[in-house]
Chain A
C-alpha cells in the first residue's frame, strides 16, 4: 500500500518532469524557423519520448532524468542553429521568387534585357568557342596535349624549315632527358582506289611512334607496329580516320585486312583511329595515315635517306617535369653536333614552340585576330550591361516606394542590396541561357561560313564544357557589372524621401539621372570604337579581296588531276599532259590553258627548295631557300602573269632537253645583282636549271605576304602525278566545265578530274581569315550600335516623360512645337556628341594596337573615323525622333494637369 503510493507519487513526479521536457520542446519550436518548425517539433518530441520510455524500462541510475533534461536543452541550440542557417537559404529562394515575379510582370522590359544580355554573352561564347577549338584544344583526341610541343628546324637566317628524315632519326636517338618522344609527319595528298572508284585523299606520312606518342588508340584494329617503320617499302599498311571509315566504308568492321590502292600500290587496312582524333594539324582533318617507310610510294621520289631533303614536321612530347628552356638547351647541343658532322646541317638548329606559338602555324596565324575578336566581344558585353543597368535604373524609379516601405519595416541596406543583386543574378542567368542558345546557333553558322576548299579544313567551334564554364563566368561578371551600381544607388536612398517620393521627383534624382547619362555616353563611345575597328577590317577585307595577287583573277578555271590511280608512269604521264593541253586549248572559249603542281594562295608552302645560284656567294650563315612551283607551257599567259624578260616554257622544255627555269623579279634582284639573269644557272640538288625568263612578282602563299624569291620549273621536266589544270576563258568559265571533262574522258576515262573551281572561288579561300574577322567584327559593331541606340532612346524617352509638366508650361508660355522638339534634340545630340568625341579619341588610341592586321588601310584611316561618327550621329537622330515627336505633339492642358 505504502509502496504503491510511493510508486504513484514517483510516477506523478516523473510525468511532471516529462511535461516540462515537452514544454521545452514547445517553447523551443518558436525559435525554429517556420518552415522547419513542424518537423523539428516532431523529431524532438519523438526522440525525448522514446528516451523517456527507454530510461523507464532500463534505468541506469539517479542521473538519468537530469541527463535527459540537459539533452533536451540542446534542442534549443538546434532550433537556434536552424534559424541561422535555414533562414539564409530561405531568403535567397524568397528573393528569387520575388525577382521572378517582377520579371514576369514586365515582360517587355525583361525580354529586352534578356535579349540584350543574350546577344552580349552569346557573342563572347562564340568567340571563346573558337579560341577553345583553335588554340586551346587544337588537336582533339591527343592525350595530355599541353605536353606536346612543336619542334621546328631553323636556318642561319632564322627562317623556319622542315626537318629531314635522317635528322629526325638523330634527334630522336639522342633526345634529351626531358623529352618523352619525338614524332615526324608530313601531309600528303594521295589517290585512293576502292574497287573501281578513285578519289583524292589527304593522308599523313607518319613516323612509327606517331600514335603512341600522341596517346591515340585504334578504335578498331591496331596502329603501326615497330617493324612497320624500319624497312623502306616493306609494309604497305594504312590506318584510316574514323570519319573516313564512316563515310567511305559505311563503318564496316570487316574493313580490317582489306586491300586498298593508294597511288596505285596495294595497301592493307590495319586499323581505324579513335573517333576523336583528326590528325596532328590544327584545323585539318586527315583521312588516313601511312608509315614513314612508305614515303617513296606516297610522295614519288625517295627522301628518306637524304639529309638535305627537308620535308617533315616534328612534334615533341615533354616529360611532365621538363621545361621548354631546359630541353631547348639540350637540343641546341645536339644541333651543334649535327651541324659539325654533316654539311647539309651546317647552320641548322631546331627550336621548340608551344603549339599556338609556332610561327606560320595556324595558332600563331589566328592568335592576333582572335585576340581582337575576344576584346571586342567583351566590349559588346559591356555595352549590353550598360543597357541593362539603364533599364534597371529606369525601373528603380517605380520601386522607390517599395524600398521606402522595406526600410521602414526594418530591412537592412545589406538585405536590400542582396535582394537587388539576386534579381540581377536571376536576370543574368536567363540572359546567359539565351546566350548559350545563341552561341549554339552562331557556332553552327561560323562553321558553315567556311568556303568549300580543296583541303580538308575542319572549323567546327562548338559549345563544349569549357565554353559553358566561360559563359557562366561571363554571366556572373555581367550580373555584377549591371547590377551592382543600381543596387548600391538604390539602397542608398533615404527612407523618408523614398516614402514621400512621386515618380517624377524620383526620376529627377540628380545622381541617378547623371548615372544614366554617363552610361549612354560610354555606350556611344564604345560603339564608336567598335564601329571604327569594324570598318577598318571591312576595308582590309576589301583590299585583300581586290589586292593584286600578281595574277589575273578573272575568267579562270582550276581543276585537279591525278594520274596515279590510272597507273601512269612518267613517260605516259608527260604524254597525257601534252595531249590534255592540246585538246583543251582547242575548246571554243578557251583562251589559254596550262598546268601547275600548285595553286597560289593556299596557306602553306610546299615548294621550298635549297638552291645555289652561280655567281652569287652566300653570306657565311645564309641558307639559300626559295619557294617554287612546277608549271607547264604557257602558264604565265594563262595566269596573266607578266613576263619581264626572256621567254615562257614551251612543250619542248621536256625531259631530255636542258632544265629550264623562270624566276621572279625579287629573285632576280636579290641574287643576280645588276646582271641579266637570262642564261644564268641555278643548282637544285644535282640538277642545273638555266634561267630562261623573269616573271613579275606575285603572292604565292598568303595574300598578305611581302615579295619573296620564287622559282618556276618545268612540269614536264620535274614530273608529278598530281597537277592542276589552269584554264583562261573568254567568258564565263563555268560554262566550259563539261567540255573540259569531256576532253579528259576522251583521252583516258580513268583519270579523275576533281576540285573544279573558278579562280574567284579559290580566292575566297585565300581571304577566309580576313573575311571571318571582318564579318564577325561587323556583326559586333552593328550590335553595339543597336544597343547604344536603344540606350539613348531609353534615356531621352524617360527625360521627356519626366519633363512633361515643364514642356506643358513652356507651351503655355508660347513655345512652338519646333522649340520643344529642338529642346529634346539638343539634349540627345549633347549626349551623342560627348560619346562620339570620347569614342573617336579611344579608337585613335586602340586601333594602332592591331595595325599589323590591316592591309592597305591606315589605323587612323580618316574615312573610317569620319564615316563612323557621321553614321552614329545620324542614327542617334533617328533614335531621338520618337521621343521628340511625342514631346512636340503634347497637349499643353493635359501635360500641365499631369502629376
Chain B
C-alpha cells in the first residue's frame, strides 16, 4: 500500500485502541471473504471432481453410482460401450457444422450491427437477442412445431439447423463486442491509404477480429456439443452424446461415459487456457 493510501487508512480507522480494533475487523472481513471465496470455488469444482473420479470407478454391476474400486480399464477402452462412439461422432459433426455456419452467418451480422446504421437495426438486435432470452424448452418446442407442420422428418439435418440457430446469437454478441472495442482509426488509416472497403476488411479488420471469431467458433462448438433439450425435441432417431447420456441414465451410466466427459472437459480447459495465455501475450 502506498504511503498516501496508508495515511488515508490511518485517518479512516483512527489510531490507538479503536484503530487497532477497526483494523482487526477489516482484516477479519478480508479473511472471511477469502474463506468464502475458497469455499465457493470448492463447491463449483466438487461435481467436476466427482465426474472425473467416477471415470476411474470399477462398478460391480451396471450402475456407476457407488465407489467400488479403482481401475484404469475404462480409460484403456473408452469406446468399449456400444453406441457411445457413434453418438460422440455425431455430436462432433453437428457441432462443427453449427460452429462454421454460425460464424459465417454471425460475423457479417455483427459487422452490420457494429459499424452501420440502418433501418430496422433495433429490431434486428432484438431478433438476435431473443433466442438467448427464451428457455430451451420453448425453442425446442417451437422448432418441433415447425417441422411437424411442414412435414419435415426430424433427424441429423434438423438438429444441425436448430444448433446453428441458437449459436448464431452467441457468435454475434461475441464478435460485436470485439468490433465495438476496435480502434476505428486503423480502418480510417487504411481508407486514407487508398484501400477500398473490401481490402480494408481483408487486410485490417479481419486479422484483428480473427481471435474473436475463433473464440466465438469454439464457444459455438461447445454449446452445440452440450445441448440436450433442443436436441431432444428435434432428433428423430439420431443419437448425440447428451442424448446417449440421458438414455443410459435410465439403465445405468457406464463409467466410459464419465471418461468421455472428462476428455471433453480437459480438451475445453486446454483450449480455454491457451486462449487466455495468448490474450495476455498480445
Chains A and B come from one and the same complex: no
Chain A interface residues toward B at CB < 8 A: none
Chain B interface residues toward A at CB < 8 A: none
